[in-house]
Amino acid sequence: MKDTSILARRLMEGGSHLQAQNGEEGNKAIKRRSFLNYWLGVSLATFGGFSAYALARYLFPPGLAGAEAAGEDVRIMLSELPVGTAKVFRYKGEPSVAVRTGEKAVRVLSAVCPHLGCIVKWDSGKSLLVCPCHAAVFDVNGNVVSGPAPRPLASYPARIVQDEVIVGET
């Protein structure tokens, strides 16, 4: 009888030792899972942040050169705008695009798509302005060729004088 009670006590002690071991391993597993969840969250947040930033930079290019104040002329060197190319800049506080259509010809339009306000891109292969958001397409005069844009791109006065394009009314 005495032997049985000693055996039972040892078994219980062993059981509680095993429970303690299981508890420690459980805690370790929970800590490991929490750590992995934390880093997974951090990684996803970082990736999401970078993706949103890259998309915003693509759709709304920052640091556009040009006049910020209304009524101020903008000058673009012809060397920065070879024939068949376009340059996005800021005019009257708005993103605008100059398209060099010939040796002595340039068109300047608003670069803001009249559909939902994305910035249009120049497709030099097709000589068209294309909106990356919903695929509105405009010709070099700003007229809608296709897509959801409800009206043409606004046009601004521009002329070539010597070696530069002057955008503005003065």
Question: Residue 3: phi, psi to the nearest 5?
Answer: -60, -40
Which is nearer to ligand FES, 74 or 136 (by Cβ)?
136
Least separation in angstroms between CB 155 and ligand FES: 17
Which residue is it, tokens 């990684």? 43
Tokens (6 digits) for 52:
């949103």
Site string for ligand FES, 129-148 (x = CB under 6 A): --x-xx-x----------xx
Interface with ligand FES by CB under 6 A: which range of 21-29, 40-48, 115-123, 154-162? 115-123
Site membership for ligand FES, residue 106 (CB under 6 A): no
119 is a contact residue toward ligand FES (CB under 6 A): no
Type of residue at 36: L
**Alpha-carbon span 10 to 158, nearest angstrom:** 97
Where does residue 93 fall: left (phi above 0), alpha (psi -120 to 50 degrees), or beta otherwise? Answer: left
What is d(CA 152, CA 144) in angstroms, rounded to the nearest whole number?
Answer: 5
- Taking CB under 6 A as the binding criterion, the range among 6-14, 17-25, 100-108, 126-134 that sits at the site for ligand FES is 126-134
Name the minimum Å distance from CB 150 to ligand FES.
Answer: 10
90 near ligand FES (CB under 6 A) = no
Binding status of residue 152 toward ligand FES by CB under 6 A:
no
Question: Other C-beta atoms within 10 Å of 91: how many?
Answer: 25
Q: Measure the CA–CA gap between 16 and 13, rounded to whole angstroms.
A: 5
Contacting residues toward ligand FES, per CB under 6 A:
113, 115-116, 118, 131, 133-134, 136, 147-149
